[in-house]
Structures are given as C-alpha cells and as structure tokens.
Amino acid sequence: DMKVTQMPRYLIKRMGENVLLECGQDMSHETMYWYRQDPGLGLQLIYISYDVDSNSEGDIPKGYRVSRKKREHFSLILDSAKTNQTSVYFCASSSGGADTQYFGPGTRLLVL
Amino acid sequence: GEKVEQHESTLSVREGDSAVINCTYTDTASSYFPWYKQEAGKGLHFVIDIRSNVDRKQSQRLIVLLDKKAKRFSLHITATQPEDSAIYFCAAVASSSFSKLVFGQGTSLSVVP
C-alpha cells in the first residue's frame, strides 16, 4: 500500500519553542521532500533529500533543518519557531527524477 | 529559476460543463508538467501529467494540452462532476534538478449542480 504518513497532524507551539515534524513512507522511495503551503503561494520547497544523509536546500530553507537517517523516514526541525512559520507542512516522496510525488496528509502548525 | 503562473485562482462551472485551468512557465528547458488535486483538508494527489515530447494527453475526463512555443499548458476537465471540486495545482520540473517541481499557486474549482 503506497502511503506517506505525517505526525503530528496538528500542532500548536509558542514562539521560540522547538518543533519536530515527522514523515514516513512505505514505498522505499529514495527522494523525499518537505514543502510548506500558504494561501496564494502554492507549495514552496523547503528541503529535498536524495537518500539517507543526502539532503539539499530547497527554495526557502532558512529557519529549518532536516534529518534523514533511514530511507523511509524524513524529519523537519524548526529550532526556535517563529510566528511566520505558521503554515501547513507537507511531506512527499518519489522514486526520483521527474516522477510522481506522493504526498502525506499535511501537518497544520500554529506558532503563537 | 523556473516560475509557474496559474492564471485562475478560482473557477466555478456548472455540473456537466467543462473546466479549463491555464498555466504558464518560464524555463524553456522544462520537460515535465504534472497536475495535482487537493481536496479539502488533504494532501495533494497526482492526477495527470504531460511530457514535452507530446502536445496532448488524455486520461478519461482529463485532457492536458502543452504549447511549448507559448510556454503554456492547460488542464481540461470534461463533463464535470461535484467530486471534481478541489484545488488543482500545475507544476513544472526545474531544469536545475529533475527531482524538483515548481508549483503554481493553485486554482480552486467549484462544480455547482
């Protein structure tokens, strides 16, 4: 069953707190992504991971870092969250190249 | 880098009519153009794509047209149904990396009975 999971689905944090968003996939995909979605802006790529410990900045990496220690698992970390990081975060995976990306259900993060 | 513009932010059609969503891109080297659908409160899921070696592709009620000269591509949904109501995103592969997609801003489609 091709699935991308995200935890937690909803999260409320105070400004300055650390945030950990987790993503898993069961398709053995090499490539995984973190995006954020804001109204009117579509999806913006934060980080891309080509495999374990092979991560690359996307278009808006500032304020974020990632960790990929297992192929099926990709984490997004916000050190000292800011209010402008309030957003919906999506994880995706693909087999690489110009191939279909499979998305998780998203995490709604509110930073107060 | 690549930029993708999605021209309609909202679109309303009557059930049974056709809906057309238009996108333009900037990078002449782009070669892959997928479309994704997002239902309320959910993640995106792939619906159809087109590659630059063809100018038309159809999958059931979905048709994608690609005009490479104009750097424009469009999604046509024929015989619309209420379950087609969703946000649709166009995207183009970034020539800097074939693994990266650049998304349009999304079009919210409403199919009214």
A85 three-class SS: helix
- Give the chain B residue whose CA is nearest to the CA of A91: B43
Q: Quick: pLDDT tens for A15-73.
A: 999 999 999 999 999 999 999 999 888 899 999 999 999 999 999 999 999 999 999 99
Give pLDDT, residue A49. Answer: 96
Q: Quick: pLDDT tens for A4-18.
A: 999 999 999 999 999
User: For residues A55 and A81, what is the distance between their CA atoms, to the nearest angstrom?
Assistant: 21
Please answer whether residues A10 and A96 qualify as being in contact, where contact means their C-beta atoms are separated by less than 8 angstroms.
Answer: no
Give pLDDT, residue B75. Answer: 98
Q: Which of B49, B98, B105 sits opposite A41 (nearest CB)?
A: B105
Q: Quick: pLDDT tens for B18-64.
A: 999 999 999 988 999 999 999 998 999 999 999 999 999 999 999 99
User: For residues B30 and B96, what is the distance between their CA atoms, to the nearest angstrom?
Assistant: 9
Please answer whether residues A77 and A64 qualify as being in contact, where contact means their C-beta atoms are separated by less than 8 angstroms.
Answer: yes
- The answer to whether the CB atoms of A42 and B43 lie below 8 A apart is no
Is the confidence at residue B90, as pLDDT, over 80?
yes
B10 CB neighbours in chain A (<8 A) are: none
- The answer to whether the CB atoms of A43 and B9 lie below 8 A apart is no
- How close is the nearest chain A Cα to the Cα of B2, in Å? 11
